């Protein structure tokens, strides 16, 4: 796919040494969309497909400098935010994005790794709620992250109500992902203003790493290319399903890694 030189997408996230999630997944997604991908690294992790061995949070000042340097040279059409690692990084990112007047901010909140390692403290979650989420055009939590943000349990069958409740945190829209549910169909719910849309897909018989990263990065790419939010989400949902069906197993653990590739129109 030819690259778009008119706009770029910035991924503000952690580095996954296993190549399955984080900045690595985001940049692969940008490449599949033909968009120039940029990165501001918030944390360096030592991990494989089994577990996270260690996490080094990049100092907030360095995160701030990375973002400022990129906005100084590139036309950034959208920003995807993933793992931030610390409350200081949350505040630095919020402060810097306001200063550079970033647009089309998509937040995929990352609190815990797939293997159960805590990646953001309670103080960091509070800062995310107060300082960063109100800047976002879209928030894309899964069900456990929704519970953390709302401070209460969330039932899968009440996903529409929960997605609407998350709007009170201040983002322009919310895409509540249903991958952690138990139904045969995975149901993602998009709440935007007074409208609610549903995206449903069969649950595939595999365990995969990086699905939230790829989905949110794909939405950011669509926004950077000028698509309205609903169209960007719809394209990203189809893109994720394609990447899941092409997923492969590179490690010793029976865990799949997504294969982002240009979307085949049907």
- Domains of the chain: total: 1
Q: What domain range is 218 assigned to?
A: 4-145+207-257
Is 12 within a domain?
Answer: yes
Tens-binned pLDDT, residue by residue, of the chain (266 aa): 666 566 899 999 999 999 999 999 999 999 999 999 999 999 999 999 988 999 999 999 999 999 999 999 999 999 999 999 999 999 999 999 999 999 999 999 998 877 677 889 999 999 999 999 999 999 999 988 998 999 887 776 677 888 999 999 999 999 999 865 566 678 999 999 889 999 988 888 888 889 999 999 999 999 999 999 999 999 999 999 999 999 999 988 888 999 999 998 75
pLDDT at 113: 76
- In this prediction the pTM is 0.95
Is 198 within a domain?
Answer: no
Give the distance from CA 17 to its chain's centroid: 17
């699905």: which residue's tokens? Answer: 211
Q: List, as one string, the DSSP characters of 207-241.
A: -EE-HHHHHHHHHHHHHHTT--HHHHHHHHHHHHH
Is 177 within a domain?
Answer: no
CATH of the domain at 19: 3.40.1190.20
Is 30 within a domain?
Answer: yes
Judge residue 195's burial from the number of C-beta atoms within 10 Å of its C-beta, 0-12 exposed, 13-18 middle, 19 or more buried.
exposed
3-state SS, residue 146:
helix
What does residue 106 show for φ and ψ, rounded to 5 degrees?
-115, 120
Q: List, as one string, the DSSP characters of 123-139.
A: HHHHHIIIIIGGG-SEE
B/e letters for 128-141, b = 16+ CB within 10 Å, e = fewer, are bbebbbebbbbbbb
Side by side, the strands of the sheet bearing 185-192 are 52-57, 35-47, 4-16, 76-81, 105-107, 138-139, 173-176, 185-192, 195-202
**Contact (CB, 8 A) for 210 and 21:** yes
Is 156 within a domain?
Answer: no
Is 98 within a domain?
Answer: yes
**Contact (CB, 8 A) for 147 and 153:** yes
Is 54 within a domain?
Answer: yes
Is 92 within a domain?
Answer: yes
Instruction: Evaluate the CA torsion angle 150, 152, 157, 161 in order and state its sign.
Output: negative
């Amino acid at each position: 796919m030819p690259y778009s030189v008119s706009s770029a997408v910035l991924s503000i996230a952690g580095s996954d040494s296993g190549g399955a999630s984080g900045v690595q997944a985001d940049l692969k997604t940008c490449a599949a969309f033909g968009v120039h991908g940029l990165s501001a690294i918030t944390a360096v992790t030592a991990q494989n497909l089994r577990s996270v061995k260690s996490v080094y949070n990049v100092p907030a000042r360095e995160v701030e400098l990375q973002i400022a340097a990129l906005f100084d040279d590139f036309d950034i059409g959208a920003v995807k935010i993933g793992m931030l690692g610390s409350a200081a990084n949350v505040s630095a990112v919020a402060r810097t994005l306001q200063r550079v007047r970033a647009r089309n901010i998509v937040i995929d909140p990352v609190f815990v790794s797939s293997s159960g390692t805590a990646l953001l403290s309670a103080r960091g979650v509070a800062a995310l709620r107060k300082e960063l989420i109100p800047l976002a055009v879209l928030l894309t939590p899964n069900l456990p992250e929704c519970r953390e943000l709302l401070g209460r349990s969330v039932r899968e069958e009440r996903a529409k109500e929960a997605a609407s409740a998350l709007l009170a945190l201040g983002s322009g829209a919310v895409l509540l992902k249903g991958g952690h549910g138990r139904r045969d169909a995975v149901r993602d719910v998009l709440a935007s203003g007074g409208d609610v849309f549903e995206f449903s897909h069969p649950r595939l018989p595999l365990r995969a790493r990086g699905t939230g990263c790829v989905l949110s990065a794909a939405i950011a790419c669509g926004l950077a290319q000028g698509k309205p939010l609903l169209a960007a989400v719809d394209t990203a949902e189809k893109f994720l399903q394609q990447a899941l069906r092409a997923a492969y197993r590179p490690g010793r653990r029976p865990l799949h890694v997504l294969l982002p590739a240009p979307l085949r129109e049907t």
